[in-house]
Structure formats: structure tokens, C-alpha cells
Amino acid sequence: MNTTPSIFMPSPINAVLEGLYEANTTMAELKRHGDFGIGTFNDLDGEMIIVDGQIFQMDIDGCAHSVDNDEKTPFAAVCKFKAISTDLIDKPIDADKFNDLLDKCLPSRNMMYAIRIEGLFSKVRTRAVQKTANYTPLVEATSAQKESVFENVEGTLVGFYTPDFIPSVNVPGYHFHFITADRDKGGHVLECGLNKGTIAIQFYTRLDLNLPVTLDYLSADFNRNAAEDLEKAER
């Protein structure tokens, strides 16, 4: 049995991109694979964040709720998080410089990373999507998203960096979800500025990808280049 740390994904991002929002992976299954991660729920019913082994659902209004183990997900990325490096940030970083700061923390752009950022944020702009009917393309679902803005707020960013060469598997580049320190609010991160905090990183050389055995997935056509739709939907 290979004990090298890996990132578990119950399906590739291309399935969600094409509107396949119903799957059979439960929260209990996700917890068996890790204590840290992000994703969504069946029918795109909220944004998911997993922090310290707890799973929260952040609804269209940006409110966070704990979820039952039998809730299901069509897409998530989960891992067992143990930081190999931690950087202290003691001066403000504006939103337009945030990714540049993260780039300096990564040893290589060709690896996968789990990233946890805790601190006082000057501004976090998030979004959530309305519960959406199966087969609705993701770019259409996110066109009706609702945004929330949090200012001078303490909280946690949970996310991943994925190399550009596997865009059909996971969102390329940085992909973060946010939750406030009181675990009350949050969402999918669109923009972020940090006053002070810590950036903890773990790298991964293995991806544990599950391909769904459902009729929808088995009969789907993934041949088109959907990079433009993914950029619109996730950014």
C-alpha cells in the first residue's frame, strides 16, 4: 500500500463543468481521505470547505452550516494536511499582489500544493451559486452567482494550487474557499487582501482520482476544450 500523501478527488472538474451535479460520494467518504479541502455539493447546493476535519456548507447568502455525513458531492479535493513550510506575513498584501506573494512561497510551479492561510484579512470577496438543476453548464450556473464582501475579518483560506497542465482534472492555478474565524460566513474566493497572518503549505506528488461509474459520466462528451468556460466559472 502506497503511503505517500495524496490529494483525493471523487471526480474530475470537467464533469462539473459540463453540468454533472449529481454523484454518490458522501461526506463520510471524504472524511476518510482527509481533514482539509474544498468542493461543492450535489446540485451545486453551496460551497464546501473542510477545515480541521469539519465540513461546512456555505449557502447563497454566504452563511456557513455544518453538514451531515450522508450529504453528497459531485466534486471535491481533499487531503490530510500537515504543513512542510509556514511563512509569517507581518505587513499588508493588497489583493492585486496576493497571487504574487503565493508564487514566492512555492518551490516549483509543477507540483500540487495544499495551502492554508490564517489571519486578519483586509478584504475577502466571495461568491456562492444557487442550487442548480443537473445538466446546466457551470458557466451558466455561475452567471447567477451572489457575491459577499468581508472586510477587516479574521478567518481561514483553504485551497490548492494545481499546475496548468491538468486543467481537466482540477482548477488550474490557485483555488480557495474562505470561512470566518467564528465559522459563520464564507464562500468561494474571488478576491483577497491580507493584513497579517500565516501561509502554511504542503506539496503532493500523488493524485487519487476517482472516475464516477454513473450513466451521466460514462456517456458524457469531454472532447471540447472548456478552458475558457472554466476561467469564467471559477474566477
Structure confidence at residue 77 (pLDDT): 98
Q: Indicate whether 163 pLDDT > 80.
A: yes
Q: Indicate whether 1 pLDDT > 60.
A: no
Total number of domains constituting the chain:
1
Percentage of the chain lying above the pLDDT 70 cut: 94
Half-sphere exposure of 222 (CA within 13 A, CB side): 17
Split at pLDDT 50, 70, 90, the class of 230 is low
Map grid coordinates 476561467 to a residue: 231
| Domain interval for residue 40 | 6-234
Residue 189 inside a domain? The answer is yes
Q: Which of 110-124, 132-146, 169-183 has the lowest mean pLDDT?
A: 132-146
Q: What b/e string do you get for 197-218 counting C-beta neighbours within 10 Å, with b at 16 or more?
A: bebbbbebeebbbeebebebbe
Q: Tell me how far apart the alpha carbons of residues 125 and 102 are, in angstroms, rounded to a whole number.
A: 18
Q: Which of 56-70, 140-154, 217-231 has the lowest mean pLDDT?
A: 217-231
Split at pLDDT 50, 70, 90, the class of 210 is very high
Structure confidence at residue 227 (pLDDT): 64
Residue 25 inside a domain? The answer is yes
Structure confidence at residue 38 (pLDDT): 99
Residue 150 inside a domain? The answer is yes
Q: In 142-189, which residue ranges form alpha helices assigned H by DSSP?
A: none
CATH number, domain at 56? 3.30.1330.80
Residue 125 inside a domain? The answer is yes
Residue 46 inside a domain? The answer is yes
Structure confidence at residue 223 (pLDDT): 83
Residue 215 inside a domain? The answer is yes
Cβ-count burial of 89 within 10 angstroms (0-12 exposed, 13-18 middle, 19+ buried)? middle
Strand order in the sheet with 76-79: 64-66, 54-58, 47-51, 36-40, 76-79, 6-9, 206-209
Cell of 117: 492561510
Q: In the chain, which residue ranges form alpha helices assigned H by DSSP?
A: 13-17, 27-33, 98-105, 138-141, 215-219, 227-234
Split at pLDDT 50, 70, 90, the class of 142 is confident
Residue 1 inside a domain? The answer is no
Residue 197 inside a domain? The answer is yes
Q: How far is CA 54 from the centre of its chain?
A: 15
Q: Indicate whether 234 pLDDT > 80.
A: no
Q: What b/e string do you get for 21-35 counting C-beta neighbours within 10 Å, with b at 16 or more?
A: bebebbbebbbebbb
Structure confidence at residue 2 (pLDDT): 63
CB 92 within 8 A of CB 122: yes
CB 2 within 8 A of CB 206: yes
